[in-house]
C-alpha cells in the first residue's frame, strides 16, 4: 500500500489484518488545520488557496493509489511550519483508508 505524492504522509508500516487494524505514517511536525482554525478563526482567502490546492494534490495521489481515505477531516490535514510555502500540507492516513474503486464517488 503506497501513495506517491508529496502532500500525503508517507506510510511506514501497516497491518490491516490485525485486530484492530493499524498503520504508522511519518511524523509531520505542525498543527492540524482544525487546531489552526480553532485558535485563529477561519483562514483568509490568501492563506486558504495554497493548502486547498495541496489538499487536492494529496487526494489525487491517494485516489491514484486505489485508496479511499474515508476520514478526511480538518484534524487529519496537517500544516507543517517547515519547507517552502508550496510544500507545507500533509494528509494523514487513518485506519479507515481502504482500497476502493478508482472512480470518484
Alpha-helix residue ranges (DSSP H) falling in 27-70: 33-40, 45-64
Catalytic residue among 13, 46, 71, 87: 71
Name the DSSP class of 87.
Answer: G
Tell me phi and psi for residue 46, to 5 degrees: -65, -25
Gyration radius (Cα) of the chain, Å: 14
In angstroms, rounded to a whole number, what is the distance separating the alpha carbons of residues 48 and 9?
20
Is 46 catalytic? The answer is no
Which of the residues are catalytic?
71
Amino acid at each position: 500500500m503506497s501513495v506517491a505524492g508529496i502532500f500525503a504522509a508517507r506510510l511506514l508500516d501497516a497491518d490491516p489484518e490485525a485486530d484492530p487494524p493499524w498503520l504508522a505514517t511519518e511524523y509531520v511536525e505542525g498543527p492540524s488545520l482544525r487546531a489552526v482554525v480553532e485558535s485563529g478563526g477561519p483562514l483568509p482567502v490568501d492563506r486558504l488557496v495554497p493548502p486547498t490546492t495541496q489538499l487536492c494534490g494529496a487526494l489525487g495521489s491517494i485516489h491514484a493509489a486505489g485508496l479511499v481515505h474515508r476520514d478526511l477531516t480538518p484534524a487529519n490535514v496537517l500544516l507543517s511550519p517547515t519547507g517552502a510555502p508550496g510544500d507545507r500540507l500533509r494528509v494523514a492516513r487513518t485506519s479507515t483508508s481502504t482500497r476502493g474503486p478508482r472512480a470518484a464517488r
